[in-house]
Chains A and B, each alone.
Chain A
Amino acid sequence: MHVKVHFRFGFTTEMHWTMITAAEYGDTSWELSVHVDQKDGDESMRFKLRVKGDLHIGGLMLKLVEKIKAPQDWSDHALWWEQRKCWLLKTHWTLDKYGIQADADLRYTPQHKPLLLQLPNMKTIKMVVSFSCVVFKVVTDICQTLNIRRPEELSLLKPPDDPSKKKKKKDKNSAQDIWDIDLPGGPGAYSKTMTATYDPENGMPVSATSLWFGENPLAGCLPNLPPAELAKIYQPLSLVDKAINNAGWLDSSRSLMEQDIQDEDKLLLRFKYNVFFDLNPKYDAVRITQLYEQARWSILLEEIDCTEEEMLMFASLQYHICKLTMSSEPLDHSNEPEIDEVEAALSNLEVTLEGGHTDRILEDITDIPELADSLRLFRPKRLTLRPYKEYWFVFKDTTISYFKNKETASGEPIEQFHLRGCEVVPDVNVTDKKFGIKLLLPVADGMNEVYIRCDNETQYAKWKAACILASKGKTMAYSSYKSEVRNIQSFLQMKSLAPPPGQAAPNLDSMEMNAECFVSPRYAKKHKTKQLTARILEAHQNIARLSLMEAKMRFIQAWQSLPEFGINYYIVRFKGSKKDEILGISYNRLIRLDMSSGLPVTTWRFANMKQWNVNWEIRQVTIEFDQNVTIAFCCLSCDCKVVHEFIGGYIFLSTRSKDQNETLDDELFHKLTGGQE
């Protein structure tokens, strides 16, 4: 008989195999065609086997391997039924039980295949994953490999088919950007060999990821994209766009193959459910970083709306995180500042005691640095028309005094400002060489507004840092003074701004960092760079002392407290309604929104839900709430399974508790989210 061998690139050869007569098998036998994928994936073959209906799958595979004759490890291969789109994994089932007949087109193919996985930080990695396990399990395995706890919060999203983006794919420049994660021990072995272990000191995973990456880039943040690049990705999103982008969540209870995912397809790994249980900087280095990245991108691409002030706050946090990540000597503010101070005083005191000058202890300890300089002053209230005037300024303790000139500094000052509790606002324009500090000094009957103008960056950094500390009641003796000065200086040296001559901006230079890359392109367009820098600078002083992890957590929390946070939008048609509407699903409620205005019409809380059911034939979701409220809708922008899984998933997540052990109750998850079969 003739057996056709198909090669992937289209040509076919015919080969002669041993002839098997039908008589050997009796009348009940029939011919089954099986297509074999080689492990390398570069060629495939087709075999025809004579089988009977009572042959079980295990036997079929044995037969097949014998026939292929190629010495190879076939252990990862399994049979896939093309027409039915299902795996034949139950090896003890017979062909009859599966309902396989001569017309079936079977494929003998590896269960593990490479997948291009875009992480929340927009980096793409190539990873070999199971195409035969349900997606829920696949995500759990991926997360274990990447060291992300609580995998039930993540899932895989199929990017929408965008014709405009297909062209971009062809230029293939993204190919170099892909990190190839080749798993030691071959496919299938990793879930057993990889157990997450954490460095006890910094909570970084030590074995798994660092094994492949050296220093674990997943726990570190990537630098922000240059504004031009960012603008290319950015596009304004309507609710409908958001609905389309969100339609592609894969079905957790089916495998990748069953959902038409091919090897080397690109999928997005994202935090899907917007409740993040027990985020712990100790164990969650990667999880927090990836969550921060997802949050950051959603802000930059305006997938979630925020106000200008919030945008600036997010920008300043990004700048801060970027800087801490990139700088070769990480600024560590994580130490308790109070302890710092005491310790500094302690060592100071120790030296003094050893020197034996016990009578001078007090002076030494209370020796607080002072600043004295010639600066210009402007008081809008008093002298509205008078310009800035030069005085001799002395900064001592938390008080600024000014004198007519240096010579009179020993006498009574003209005026004193007590900075405790005051607001310090930068009044800076680097390109114009304007380095001003605006002080808002609260007094019993209002605020005193004071403008102080410095001559240059260095002077500004010193005085501004002192003002910030003094506003919090701290003096320049405080341990963070120096780093505060450095912070201000490096901020002023962002790339878009002219670095001072002779003083090259440190390693930040390589980052292509400027103010515009920290805000959404729409926002960057609206404001001038100068303005933007000044305002980010202003927002930055509130957070300048956060450690890297604190800053990421702050970002995540601020993101979570945005009013529109955590809502996934879908286009639906409510029963009895004639127009398309938007359904928003959040962790605790469903929201019906008007499509044109985007305004909420009704809100139903999950807490009041009595039951929900899905009619899979007409793909309609019906939900019954307390007080006899029932709603029913069909999903237009996605499969109703997506919505069903969201509801069930959120209920599943609400069952988690801290004293539960860490094992994942996937059975319950499938109970709540499955149900189609």
Chain B
Amino acid sequence: MDSIDAMFSDLLGEIDNLSQSYIPAANTQEGLPVPLSESIGSISFPDLNDSLNKLEDHDLDVLMIQLQSQSTILEMRLNSDQQTSSLTDNQIATSAMTQGSDSAAAFPAPSNAAESSGAVQTSETQTKTEKIKLALKKLNEAKVKKLIVKVMMSDESSKILMVDDRQMVRELLDTLFEKTHCDRSIGWSLCETNPELQTERDIEDHECLVELLSVWTRHSENKLYFLLRPQKYVMFTDPHLFYMWKKNKKYLSEISEEAKELLLKENFKGSTLIVPNLENVLYLKEDGKKVWKPRYFILRASGIYFVPKGKTKISSDLACFVHFENVNIYTANNYKQKYRAPTNFCFILKHPLIQKESHYIKFLCCENEHTLLLWVNSIRIAKYGTILYESYQAAKERAATLDTPQLNDYKDSPTKTKDVEDYELQDDFIPSPPGHTCCFLFFTMMIL
């Protein structure tokens, strides 16, 4: 029960953080890393009652007590508001646990409630629009889904977080930074694992966690990890690996910072995003079969293509293998054993809703670890585009500005905070023109 107590104290902390909003019903059953979500209003969640029933009575009691005081106040507040009384009733009726819609903006604090309702009566015309706005706000809030989430740390300890469906992963990382006192380097990331498929995926900073978790099945063994992934933004820290992948290793290892910066400018800061023109042989697991067949794959902005048998690499001959709109990319563990893959450097492409083995999943295997790195991250570039670059810049900024020393108890490495933004060419660097004889360009300085 210790762990449950710990979870509840975490939960309480969360409630404090979000004191202006209601706490929806939550399931904190041990062993289920992501407790059940609940929803209000028109969005129904069929699994709710089931899962609630599975909670031990004791857990429920504690949770109820914690939530009790909050909900009574809120109930009163809501009932005082004519327009939404029916809504509130509905919500309360929907589940065994009390819940409500957020009325934060309308009633910043309980004491203000009386005042604002007083004001309502004074001026008729003004209040009507206000009422409308208020009611709408409540309606919107009512749709907000919230989840209590257990996030595993690399040492298998865990933290409890409350997330609502307006929050992006980036905001959750901020919360986790505070909770864990870790350094805030750009590599920290939330990672979802699927034990059944033996896959994992680093969730992108701009994604919405609630949406993502609501597709997990009821008895899912899936877990969420908070991990340091040094290569999370490798396509921006080492763009040459992706945009000059054909060059030899020696050349790549000697590349200058200026050259990297130029690559970033060319590929991410121009009028359109450029996807690395990756192409090589990958092994494809044929639908439903055990065999992995080599095929020549080509990455383009519009999807992954392969060269059909007896055809050439010219564009009009290519066959489309997959588009990125409806699939996510996951890296796979130990597929040599599980699926007899040629190597252990595999990745899969699947619709996020698919949680079990299916012939709708595309299984691919790379020759080596480096090729896997190239494909996984290039596909991320193709799928997410500029938003990924924005996330990277935001992460870098955060690493630089929020780097307060008192929080870094066990900070191991100083974060890189190179200021690479908007380094523009200065006039001094402009070379003399090509003349009749010769012209010299200090090119490394030229195009920055």
Contact = CB atoms under 8 A, between A and B. Distances in A.
Contact of A606 (B272, B320, B447): B447
Contacts of A644: 434
B416 interface: no
Interface string B419-439: 000001100001011111111
A422 to B, nearest CB: 9
A201 interface: no
Contact of B139 (A345, A522, A560, A603): A345
B302 A307 contact: yes
Interface in A559-617: 560-564, 587-588, 598, 603, 606-614, 616
B360 A446 contact: yes
B354 interface: yes
Contacts of B359: 446
A611 B355 contact: no
Nearest to B89: A362
Contacts of A446: 354, 356, 358-360
- Chain A facing B: main interface SS: mixed
Contacts of B432: 671
Given A307-B300, A542-B325, A277 B271 contact: yes
Contacts of B351: 421, 442, 447
Contacts of A542: 325
Interface in B354-373: 354-360
B48 interface: no
A362 B272 contact: no
Interface centre among A313, A557, A659 (most CB of B within 10 A): A557
Interface in A291-322: 305-310, 313
Most buried by B among A350, A365, A607: A607
Given A446-B356, A612-B441, A307 B318 contact: yes
Contacts of A279: 271
Contacts of A40: none
A598 B315 CA distance: 12
A342 B358 CA distance: 40
A391 interface: no
A232 to B, nearest CB: 21
Interface string A435-475: 00000001111110000000000000000000000000000
A37 interface: no
A308 B262 CA distance: 32
Contacts of A668: 430
B86 interface: yes
Contacts of B271: 275-279, 556-557, 560
B139 A654 contact: no
B333 interface: no
B447 A345 contact: no
Question: At the interface, is chain B mostly helix, strand, loop or mixed?
Answer: loop
A668 B432 CA distance: 9
Interface string B304-317: 01000000001110
Interface in A327-344: 342
B354 A305 contact: no
Contact of A309 (B272, B302, B436): B302
Interface stretch (A83-91, A353-361, A489-497): A353-361
A616 B434 CA distance: 11
B434 A672 contact: yes
Contacts of A447: 351, 354, 358, 360
Nearest to B214: A420
B277 interface: yes
Contacts of B272: 556-557, 560-561
Contacts of B353: 421, 442-444
Contact of A609 (B303, B357, B360, B441): B441
Interface stretch (B16-24, B69-77, B128-136, B341-349): B128-136
A349 B135 contact: yes
B303 A309 contact: yes
A613 B315 contact: no
Interface string B244-276: 001000000000000100100010001111110
Contact of A613 (B262, B274, B425, B439): B439
Given A350-B132, A362-B87, A651-B446, A309 B354 contact: no
Contacts of A672: 433-434
B376 to A, nearest CB: 20
Contact of B316 (A308, A349, A588, A654): A308
Given A307-B320, A447-B360, A561-B273, A613 B132 contact: no
A518 to B, nearest CB: 16
A622 to B, nearest CB: 9
B433 to A, nearest CB: 3
Nearest to A656: B425
Given A279-B271, A443-B353, A610 B447 contact: no
Contacts of B433: 648, 670-672, 674-675
Nearest to A313: B302
B90 to A, nearest CB: 8
A263 interface: no
B434 A648 contact: yes
B83 interface: yes
Contact of B425 (A278, A362, A657, A674): A657
B323 interface: yes
8 closest Cβ pairs, A-B complex? A446-B358, A671-B433, A442-B353, A561-B301, A305-B315, A444-B355, A560-B272, A442-B351
30 contacts: A305-B315, A307-B315, A307-B316, A307-B320, A308-B320, A309-B323, A342-B136, A342-B140, A346-B132, A362-B86, A442-B351, A442-B354, A444-B355, A447-B358, A542-B325, A557-B272, A558-B302, A560-B272, A561-B275, A598-B314, A609-B441, A610-B441, A611-B438, A611-B439, A651-B441, A654-B425, A655-B425, A657-B425, A670-B433, A674-B433
Given A443-B354, A675-B435, 6 more contacts: A308-B318, A442-B352, A561-B275, A561-B302, A607-B259, A607-B262
